[in-house]
Structure 1
Amino acid sequence: MIVPEDILNDTANRAPKSLAAHLPDRALVAGATLSSIRRGGDNGATKEDEIAQTASSKTATLTLPLSSQPPDKATKDRLGAFVETGFTFGKVEYERILGTNDLVDENWLDRAKMAAQPVCRLDLQNGKATGVMISPNLLLTNWHVFNDAIDAEGCLAQFNYRLDYSGRNFEQYYDFVLDPKRYFVSNKVLDFAIVAVSTKSTDSAASLSRYGYHRLNPVPNKLSPEEWITIIQHPSGGPRQFALRENRLIEKQDNFLWYQSDTAPGSSGAPAFNDQFQMIALHHSGVPKKVGDKYVLRDGSQVDSIEGRQESEIEWIANEGLRVSSLCDAIRQLKKDVLIDELIQIIDGTIKGDVMAESLQNKSSNGQGNQETKVQEREITTTIQPAVSTAAQPGRYGSQTPEIVVPVRIVVSIETAPPWGPTLTYLSNQPSGAPTVSRADAELFGVEKMVEPQHDTKYSNRKGYDEDFLDVNVPLPVVKKTSLVSKMDNDEYVIPYEHFSVVMNKKRRLAMFTASNLDASVKMRQPNGDKPSRKELTGLGKNDQEKWYTDPRIPQDHQLPDVFYNKDRSAFDKGHIVRREDVCWGTGIQQIIRANGDTFHTTNCSPQVANYNRSNLDGIWGKLENYVAEQNKAERLSLFAGPVLKDDDQVFHGVTDRGDIEVQIPQSFWKLVISAEDGQLKAYAFVLEQDLSSTPFEFDVTPEWAPYLVSTKQLEALLDGFELPRAIHAADQFESDSASELLHRTPIRKRRK
């Protein structure tokens, strides 16, 4: 083992116990076996172990007296397992293994990013989960995700499904089809499933090999009770996330580990790692608290079963994961197959090249790291101008740009095919008299800015929702609790915008309901012959992000400002209630621009639990509207929509410009889609809600949102402060043949009375 001289200097006065002396004989240390270690005598500071080989003149021979007490057998196994990967660790890392230091070296972050590459989001037939590659061809997840090969048919493994550095946009990710016909096996008792994955993405643009795999190390004791656990996961089917620190090992069982960690539905199948990113467990479930044969609920009561209970009602004491050592034993018992034979050789170490070892080998051989993350760069010294001659060449993963060193000391390295996105680093030692960075420069270097889309602040020209849009009168819902609504200076509470109107609940600072008109005809969508571009609609640059703005016509404290969403620790997403796509139409481009800008008023925004809006809530609404339009051969629709505001909605403590604020977050949303055929109205009522299950298997695999068709009477019972017009009840299609056909050809479910 080789360590830098500064680490050795720090240990000069400590007890002369060599770390190398305590490593198991199977360990490889800096390319030399332990048989090459020379033992000294038995007295004084001169009796230290030495390693026969050193890497270079800039490194020193290991004499690392890190502890006055030799490690126990479990720690020896831990150290040896880590060294086998080829990585070198120093004082801080060793002390962390012993539980005496919670610091991590900066390279821990690099390893974390590399360890995340083989982890993917699973897009299932009925939900989302997490999986991890354990060989070049095989993916590992839970049995309760895939009971059998049929469950895996048509499902996708989505790699690099993560947010960019701004936290607002997704990086480019790729879909790979699971191939259970090529290989599939599952084990109910140990709750694991292994399935083959197609080697090319669905668009043939990416190879599966670029993401690598994690070796399953069969050696036990890869984790000590003093160490933290890291779980890389796709909670709730959202972008890739890390559960870092405060994840303690609680108990070791024969086949499972119990630990404390932050996980959520969708985390089923996530790999759990030790601090050296060796996989130690396959995460699969929560552990409910029990007293005897009774389950304990959070209110202190005890019940015989938790079937049908909400997750929030149950007292959970831990999470549970299948031990990798037990998984390896089970894999060795599987029926012979060429892909399983390959997997066993990887487990045994006969085949090398898992994602961690491969990254180290590439780093050592070419100084660039994994070929997929190789940075093409050269150094240029120049002055930033609005245009730079070394223009970026667009590629699938962004630009292929040289490293540029400029007088303002900005260093830019953009990877040609990065697994975790381009990086932009600002150095603080800006020389005096250096130029500032212009907006053009910011766009060139990918710097994101929050900018308000262009919008018309002369509100006198807004007509709002048109009741006669369908040539049959569709009146607005009737407000019954006018004390709840926010009013404009003219004492009106129906706030008009371009093609839609909003009524605000001033207590909740959210829309009570919205009403909009949709025209899908080409002549209204493309009045100039072409679909307007984003820049034409918003006036924003390619790296600008839309900043929402409050409506000056009602009090500011009746709205949630944009800052609430930006300072909420990313707990929520901004969700359009009136979809931009619905109202971006008109007889001319200026009308379309005005409609687009109006949708970014905070009156049209509702906080939605993070990951759910990003997981195409807006897209689901769009599909529902399309289903109804196709069903009724309609180009025009009228739409009512809003959040379901309940008294028991969870309270979130957030921040605004005026200080702290408590906001109740809606958990479900509703929409009425109304069409007209031969002068007859047809109304379809939908409720979209999170479909939670309470089974211990990570509270089961849950769909992102479950759309339900409900009757207008059922919907009205959920609404607070207003009623639906009689014309809507008379047009309800809940029991119609049209609704039955809609249910037959779509994933919509029917909510029985």
Structure 2
Amino acid sequence: MGNINRNAIIQAAERYAGAVEKQKKLLSEQEEGTADALYGEALMIDARRDFLAPADRSFLESIIEDSDLMPLRYLALGQLAAAAVGRVYLQVPDGSGSGFATGFLVAPGLMLTNWHVLESPKWARGATLTLDSEDDVDGIPKPPRVFRLNPNRLFLADSELDFCFVAVEPRAIDGTPLNRYGYLRLFPSTGKILRNEYATIIQHPNGRQKHLASRNNKITVYVYDTDLSPEERAANNFLYYSTDTLKGSSGSPVFSDQWYVVALHRRGVPATRMVRGRKVIVRTNGRAAAADDPDEVIRYLSNEGVRVSRILARVAEISGSESEQADAAARTLEAVNLASGSVENGPVAKPTARISILEERDALGIAAGIEPFELVRRRLSKFPDDTGYDPDFLPGFTIPLPEPRTPLRTELAPRLDRPDTYLLPFRHFTTAMHAARRLPVFAATNIDGGKKPDGAMPNRPSWSIDPRIDEAHQPDDSIFSNMVHRGHLAARDYIYWGADKDEMKQADTHSFTLTNVCPQIRAFNAHKEWYELERQVMGGAEAEQLRITELVGPILRATDPAYDDLRGSASDAEMGTGIRIPIKFWKIVAWVEAGELKHSAFILDQHAELEAAGPLEMALTPPAGVTPTTVEEIADMTDLEFDGFK
């Protein structure tokens, strides 16, 4: 205990004692049938349903009644959650020593731990986060990956609630990308866990390999906000649980059985007693503890964790204050909110699937007609910001980029190199990615039929990861196959034009980037609705030497089928990618004819359930499975605003 603030420990014990008494009083009122107490409990139980998978919501009663049965996905989700938890190694700035703690990723490039672990940027500059410090299934230690922290980019700490957010470098010392490990989503709402539910802590006790504490670990003391007045609620920052933790566990995530982070582990709560008018900490043998006693001899009553909802409320409070940390708090809050999205996204942002560059001809599936490809990583310099969609491309008219409405805006993936924007400009087109769905929400494309070169197209470039956004926000390439194609939103033919060969080559290369891809069924993409309409647009542009602007994207719905539910028995794609296959797409085609702006809007359906509805302008005949619509209807279905159309 020599390096632990004794006053802070005593305060924790006093908070715990106060919470125990408050909870006893509330539970007594519930047993007596007091209306307010019963109402508060009912509100929390109702909120709890929001954090259960739809299939589990009908079993909430069994969760409350202490059932030991868990769905098998509990193990798989736990493995994903553990990947984002790492060991923090720190050196005391004055050179007096070093130590270990735990931290975990909560957004791309952002770690959460305790303030008493990293009290200032100076402490963080000398600290590292080590991931993969764990044993494999054979008990052999994995190669650890060490990432430096970057407090110059972001550092936010609060001593009262004992939390610290700090930026992490995107690559480990050995070059391993950070986005391989995913992150844990944080949500500000309550209902993630109830009293007497089991909790799990993933930690690095005493700086050792990663461990999990799940047995005999319950939320023992948790006073619900719904039972408190607004003044009491503002100070209701902690909950308490029984588990085994050791020095080095500070900064660990506390999970519900559904793997939502409910609290940031802070410290053990010791037993205390009064000795000559002074409160002292007690050993396991009942005697007063000395200042230099090790943790093993202290009698601990419980563990204290800082509630995630209160941490996020505090970050929001700082962001709106005059504090010098206001900017850091605002950026932290935006990063966490963008990364987490809605509760429907689940508790864990899954790491990007492995990228395999296959070399064997048979492995590539050439015999089965699968297009061989190599997935590469192009440098950031290959994607300059001075390219992109031109809103003034049509002579005499301006068609701005689609503008996401407020709900959708918070769900778009921010750029790593420019966190203030979500736009991804390419040569002749621009896209934006939905972080949770890992798919583009739109592509805006300029097509110049008068600058299309003669002759055949060159050899197809390799597909590439987009270096500008987190790989966890890009399509998982393992799902694509001979059956599920990488459907270009900005078609290759559309953008293969330019003033010279270099410009055309850049456009061609840009089109083969995963942030320009939506999964499409083979027949839809290569033979039927999508393909046929693309051919008509491109044919019209070339025949009439027209300039055309096309806006296109998927209609993302929660009811879209998950790839895991559609995969065949022979699929070797990663499980649990979270990818859902969009059923419907929208497309708006605009051009100038006789000085007037013309446009047509379409809905394309991969189920071919919609019927064509009459002839369209510019001799575009909707293929089967395509129906004309209006720009206004597309706006309502996509949460995008479209300006420039009459």
Q: TM-score, normalised by structure 1?
A: 0.37
Q: TM-score, normalised by structure 2?
A: 0.43
* Structure exhibiting the larger radius of gyration computed from Cα positions: 1
Say which structure is richer in helix.
2
